[in-house]
Amino acid sequence: MIESPLEHLIKTNPDMEVWWDSSPLVYEQWVNRMLSAADSSKRGILAEQLSRLYNTEDPAKSIFRGCTTNPPLSLKAVQSDPQCWDPWVDDLIQSNPDLTQHELYWLTYKEVVRRGAEMYMPIFEASSYRFGWISGQLDPREASETGAMIRGAEELSSLSPNVMVKVPATMQGIEALKVITSKAISTNVTVCFTSSQILAAGQAVWEGMQIAKQNEVDLTQWRSVITMMIGRLTEREALDIQAERRGIKLTRMDKHWFGLAVFKRAVRMLHDNGWPSKMLACSMRAGPLVAGRMRFWDIQMLAGGDIVFTMPPYVLEPLFEFGDNLNFRQEAIGEEVPAEVMNKPIKIPYVIQAYEPNGLSLEQFNNHPATAYTIGGFSKASQGLEDYVSKRLARVGKRA
């Protein structure tokens, strides 16, 4: 058996987890695209490696231990399979003539999550509820509405015991997170970019857990992860604008180091506080080019960690392309970012706000450039799914 890069990576820490970052409903489509694009001489080996990522015959033996998804990915799952979803939504509309367009949209989204959870349930059961989670995201258009998020979390978590609710790291999201956790609802904090947000999320989860214990709420099937969106932090225009104003030219390598510095600090903060949440790395970007060879620092420099990596196709594809050219070291996660490397970016306010634990106040979370940008994109996708339902609603009405 020739091991894949992911199998080399997870050997650096037995508690490391790799999750699929997309709807489970589109995994087979992605595998087929990968195989059709592969060189014929390598296709057989690749097919074996991909079959081990998500083992369709025995999911409990999969390398993937969970799954994250978001509104754009859920929209894509529906749009990519109209033969499945068009009649399902049409039947939903006809069976529920009194429901509003928004209510129909939410039921459709929940069905996407429910079907994904069903695919990962064998992993959940075989691991005694430790693995096999799938994240269902709260409606991002309600990211500043505490009550709506709490109600949404209750609905999503009721779909399946292995549904983990994605709660935004907004000011109101942090408030909702404490309440949601107190109900023993598993959570994945999302749209999270800064040490301040991670600290606030970790504290809220811990406090919610204490309330659950006081109320004798069963926590045996509960988990918490906090996501840091590395690439979405380092790619924002505000970073380049502020750097330019100070006469600083940031290279791609500088930006990789910046994102890694924040993530490594977050891992230490959660550990030092003894909080139960586990850090999850997402939005990793390939690079930089070092000595003529392409690296994948966002993954390589975090190897050996008791963390979660969630990987979409745009991460997995270069990983498999680089193959054995990538070296994963067990000690990488514990290595500090060199002080001389951070001397340049730490002069930029955007970097200070992200790296320093007190860089942002709770009231500033919603307006952080990366948070605002990402919530905007997620909201657009949610509206896209609602627009799809609206079009089906119009078609059903015409046929009636």
d(CA 115, CA 67): 12
- Six-digit token string for 80: 């990519």
**Strand pairing partners for 290?**
293
String of b and e for 88-100 (b: at least 16 CB within 10 Å)? Answer: ebeebbeeeeeee
d(CA 164, CA 19): 13
Residue 278 main-chain phi, psi, to 5 deg: -110, 135
Residue 167 has pLDDT above 80, yes or no: yes
Nearest 10 degrees: CA dihedral of 162, 24, 108, 314?
Answer: 120
Mean pLDDT of the chain: 96
d(CA 143, CA 366): 9
Angle CA(90)–CA(94)–CA(97) in degrees, nearest 5? Answer: 130
DSSP 3-state of 294: strand
* Confidence (pTM): 0.96
Give the model's confidence band at 357: pLDDT under 50 very low, under 70 low, under 90 confident, else very high.
very high
* Mean pLDDT on 206-232: 98
Residue 203 has pLDDT above 50, yes or no: yes
Residue 162 has pLDDT above 80, yes or no: yes
pLDDT over 90 percentage in the chain: 94
Specify whether the CB–CB gap between 195 and 267 falls below 8 A.
no
Of 232, 193, 229, the closest CA to residue 360 belongs to: 193
DSSP 3-state of 51: helix
What per-residue confidence (pLDDT) applies to 323?
78
Residue 397 has pLDDT above 80, yes or no: no
Q: At what angle do helices 146-157 and 171-182 cross, to 10 degrees?
A: 40
d(CA 116, CA 165): 13
Of 193, 185, 134, the closest CA to residue 168 belongs to: 193
CATH number of 5-393: 3.20.20.70
What per-residue confidence (pLDDT) applies to 400?
47
Q: Give per-residue pLDDT as tens, 226-244.
A: 999 999 999 999 999 999 9
CA distances from 305 to 13, 103, 294, 330 (A): 6, 41, 22, 8
Give the model's confidence band at 292: pLDDT under 50 very low, under 70 low, under 90 confident, else very high.
confident
Q: Strands (DSSP E) along the chain, which ranges?
A: 17-21, 64-68, 133-137, 163-168, 187-190, 224-229, 278-282, 289-290, 293-294, 308-311
User: Residue 376's CB: how many other CB atoms inside 10 A?
Assistant: 11
Long-range contacts (CB closer than 8 Å, 24 or more residues apart) made by 116-122:
116/23, 116/24, 116/25, 116/67, 116/69, 117/159, 117/160, 117/162, 117/163, 118/160, 119/24, 119/25, 119/59, 120/24, 120/59, 120/66, 120/67, 120/162, 121/160, 121/162, 122/58, 122/59, 122/60
* Mean pLDDT on 220-229: 97
What per-residue confidence (pLDDT) applies to 398?
59
- The Cα diameter of the chain in Å comes to 69
What per-residue confidence (pLDDT) applies to 324?
75
Q: Give per-residue pLDDT as tens, 18-71.
A: 999 999 999 999 999 999 999 999 899 999 999 999 998 999 999 999 999 999
- Six-digit token string for 367: 């307006």
Give the model's confidence band at 396: pLDDT under 50 very low, under 70 low, under 90 confident, else very high.
confident
Residue 328 has pLDDT above 50, yes or no: yes
Q: Give per-residue pLDDT as tens, 305-314.
A: 999 999 999 9
Angle CA(209)–CA(212)–CA(217) in degrees, nearest 5? Answer: 130
Q: Give per-residue pLDDT as tens, 71-124.
A: 999 999 999 999 999 999 999 999 999 999 999 999 999 999 999 999 999 999
Specify whether the CB–CB gap between 365 and 196 falls below 8 A.
yes
What per-residue confidence (pLDDT) applies to 48?
96
Numbers of helices and strands, H then E, in the chain:
17, 10
